Amino acid sequence: MTATDGDDAAPLDLAHLRRYTEGDEDLERQLFGMFFPDAEAHLQAMAAAEADETWHRSAHGLKGAARGLGAWEIAGLAEDAEAMVGGATGGRAAHVERMRVALARLRGVVEELLGAVEPPAAD
């Protein structure tokens, strides 16, 4: 699957990203360099979450970051995860796994478009 212009099912809405970054591929690399480690941290927190608050906060943070970049598939999965609180906690582990698969798919698309992206250097 590749990036498309405006397709909610695609891992990345390239038109959205390019509007956001004004087509600056260096900026896109920097943004994804921050996004991928952050997304992994959210997924790790969700996988370990015992409290609904932790689960919801991580899902919400991932949803916002994904929406900002046009990663609609991950944003949609994160939005679904936000509802998995209270009595609706069954299936959390499987949902995190679906999100990991979607993240890997997004990484493949981003690397196809921009080459390898690296996290920012620590100061």
At residue 87, the pLDDT reads 78
Domain membership of residue 91 as a residue range = 14-114
Burial (CB count within 10 angstroms: exposed 0-12, middle 13-18, buried 19+), residue 22: exposed
* pLDDT tens sequence across 10-44: 899 999 999 999 999 999 999 999 999 999 999 99
* Per-residue pLDDT reduced to its tens digit, 94-119: 999 999 999 999 999 999 999 888 88
Q: Residue 102 falls within a domain, yes or no?
A: yes
The overall average pLDDT reported for the chain is: 91
- pTM higher than 0.85, yes or no? yes
Domain-embedded: residue 8: no
Number of domains in the chain: 1
Count the Cβ atoms, other than its own, within 10 Å of residue 12.
27
pLDDT-derived band at 1 (thresholds 50, 70, 90) equals very low
